[in-house]
Structure 1
Amino acid sequence: MFRDSPRSRLFLAVLVTLAVALLVLDSRPGSDPVTSAARVGGEFVFVPVAAGVGWAASPVTALREGMRSESAERVAELEKANADLKAQLQAARIDEERAEQLDELLGLAGLGGYEIVTAQAVTRVTARGYADTVTIDVGTDAGVRPDMTVVNGSGLVGRVTEAGRRTATVTLATDVDSAVGARLEGSRKIGVVNGGSVPGGPEAALTLRLFDLETPVEAGTRVVTLGSHEGAPFVPGVPIGTVDQVQVAPGELSRVARVTPAVDFASLDVVGVVVQGPERDPRDSVLPPRPEEEEGDRS
């Protein structure tokens, strides 16, 4: 260990003086014997010192490089663990959301008396500006056939139009060629719900045309499926949507209303295919309580 003392300071001053002298001599041109001898002497003194310093510093350098390498590996491990944790949390979140959707679907099926086969919407095909069809991951092996009603926990999704052994194609209620027999909540007034807009009607995802031009209908009125013969392609009582605008279209013989769908077609996931309809029309029992009704129950 270097100690600060008069003797050590004198030794350091001599070394510095010799170094300066060697630099001056080394910069002079020619091969003067005196210069050469001084240079050799200087190397004899300084090379071992420099080597000693390098030898002393090498463990520190190696330690620093080792720490850097270990730190980089540790950071990489932590980043991978963090990414894995995020993926697990995302999967758990998706599973939780699907469990909630399944609960809602089973609740709707129970209220309506529908026997269903659960499925997942796996692909969507967009055409003519509408999400016309989805493919689901069940087919004829699970009892699914064309002209069966498809629902989710909120209401009507559409109907099966093609069925393979393990997959099926569902045409959505919003398809421009879709037509569903409908009934107004709390009445016997009927009409048809078409996908998209009708000529002269408002821009809409669903449009209701009532057969009776004199039928009173207001915004906020809810609409359910009327039901088809023997439940194909539509079983009765499934919520379709809510009226939000009413008008009489020029040239139409019926009142036209824009309907907000009960189903969020942009985020379809868990659905159910109704393989057996109800024994009797559930009427409005599948509709969820209105907010004011829920307030009344709480009070």
Structure 2
Amino acid sequence: MATDREKRWRGLEREGPRGSRSLLVALLLCCLTVLTVDVRGGDDSALDPARAAVGEVLGPAETAAGAVVRPFTAVPRWFRTHASLRERVAALEADNADLRADLATTDLDRNRLAELDGLTRAAADLGTALVPARVVALGARQSFTRTVTIDAGTDAGVDADMTVVNADGLVGRVLRATSTTATVLLAADADSVVGARLGSSLEMGFLRGRGGLGDDDLLDLELVDGSVVPARDDVVVTWGSRGGAPYVAGVPVGRVVDVYRNPRTTSQRAVVVPFVDYSALDVVGVVVPSGTRSDRGVVEADGSLR
């Protein structure tokens, strides 16, 4: 026989589904009623005070929650933006470095181009072929000689006792050469002796260096005929050697700036300022026979590059 508690529990089980359905129907009717009232109210809805009250309560909470969450949601965007900015800055820095490098070498490139053009004219004026080269080293002062090293050697057709010139005139002669480099004795060296002549009278003499560079790179010309007095501003050129070694003929050397007489020998000595600035050598040309095989371009006597 069932107890009173069991009867009540069974009664609730029977009524449970019906009670839930009744509650759901009541909620639906309530929602429909609220919507009807809100729609019919138009702009002055009866629910506006309730909305305002809820907004007053929930608005500050939403703002606070947004302020708390915003830094975390912005982190991925910050990283993406920061990485993009870093890449942009790196690209701009690279562009600026390239522009600065181009600007820094503009004058150098312009000067070298001018010197190469000068070598072309020199080859045509001398009627000889030239192997272009660059000065890559200056001889040590401890060697007591004035020499430079150029970046052309036997592979380029350069050998000992060849004349070296640049766009302005005589540089010197090749002392020795390796496969890729050569040592050049400058005409300004104290041991350098160059056969030279005056351009106006063709009087011959011997040109010797003083061993100085820069403002002190003067040369001394002693004429064979001691009775001849060189004229100031007279141009001095090489008279040349047999076979063009070590000097070819007709290479401009410098200009007479002063003349001294030696009372003991009654000879004349002319002081010559060279056309070439030996302290600022860069692009030079080595005089080679026409048709010389070279590992680089050869400027021929007609100005063409082979």
Q: TM-score range by the shorter chain?
A: 0.5 to 0.7
Is 1:107 aligned to 2:124, yes or no?
no
Correspondence 1:117-132 to 2 at 5 A: 117-127=131-141, 132=146
Aligned residue in 2 for 1:190? 204
1:219 is paired with a residue of what secondary structure?
coil
Corresponding residue to 2:283 among 270, 274, 295: 270
Query: Normalized against structure 2, the TM-score is what?
Result: 0.63
Aligned residue in 2 for 1:232? 245
| Amino acid aligned to 1:241 | G
Q: Is the 8 A contact 2:217 2:274 kept in 1?
A: no
Correspondence 1:122-271 to 2 at 5 A: 122-127=136-141, 132-196=146-210, 204-248=217-261, 253-271=266-284
Distance 1:203 1:108 in 2: 26
- Structure 2 unaligned blocks of 5 or more: 1-52, 291-306
Corresponding residue to 1:75 among 52, 70, 89: 89
| Amino acid aligned to 2:224 | F
Distance 1:62 1:91 in 2: 44
| Amino acid aligned to 1:208 | L
Larger radius of gyration: 2
How far the C-alpha of 1:160 sits from its partner, in A, is: 0.6
Aligned residue in 1 for 2:304? none
Distance 1:215 1:251 in 2: 16
How far the C-alpha of 1:233 sits from its partner, in A, is: 0.9
2:90 is paired with a residue of what secondary structure?
helix
Deviation by residue 1:181-220 (Cα, 9 ceiling, x = unmatched): 111112122221111169xxx9543222233343222331
1:246 is paired with a residue of what secondary structure?
strand
How far the C-alpha of 1:232 sits from its partner, in A, is: 1.4
Q: Please list every run of at least 4 consecutive aligned residues from structure 1 whose deviation after the TM superposition is greater than 6 angstroms.
A: 48-51
Residues 156/110 of structure 1: CA separation in 2 closer, same or farther (3 Å cut): same
Correspondence 1:53-64 to 2 at 5 A: 53-56=67-70
Aligned residue in 2 for 1:87? 101
Q: Is the 8 A contact 1:183 1:190 kept in 2?
A: yes
| Amino acid aligned to 2:208 | N
Distance 1:143 1:254 in 2: 41
Distance 1:259 1:128 in 2: 26
| Amino acid aligned to 2:98 | D
Q: Is the 8 A contact 2:253 2:274 kept in 1?
A: yes
Count residues in correspondence.
234
Q: Is the 8 A contact 1:136 1:167 kept in 2?
A: yes
Distance 1:211 1:51 in 2: 106
- Structure 1 unaligned blocks of 5 or more: 1-6, 12-44, 278-299
Aligned residue in 1 for 2:50? none
Aligned residue in 2 for 1:31? none
| Amino acid aligned to 1:110 | A
Aligned residue in 2 for 1:40? none
2:227 is paired with a residue of what secondary structure?
coil
| Amino acid aligned to 1:155 | G
Deviates more, 1:166-175 or 1:111-120: 111-120
Query: Normalized against structure 1, the TM-score is what?
Result: 0.65
Residues 105/54 of structure 1: CA separation in 2 closer, same or farther (3 Å cut): same
How many percent of aligned residue pairs carry the same amino acid? 43
Deviation by residue 1:82-113 (Cα, 9 ceiling, x = unmatched): 11233345556544433322221121121221
Q: Is the 8 A contact 1:130 1:174 kept in 2?
A: no
Residues 65/115 of structure 1: CA separation in 2 closer, same or farther (3 Å cut): closer
| Amino acid aligned to 1:80 | A
| Amino acid aligned to 1:188 | L
Q: Is the 8 A contact 1:219 1:243 kept in 2?
A: yes
Deviation by residue 1:231-285 (Cα, 9 ceiling, x = unmatched): 21111110001122222357565322322211122222222211239xxxxxxxx
Q: Is the 8 A contact 1:131 1:174 kept in 2?
A: no
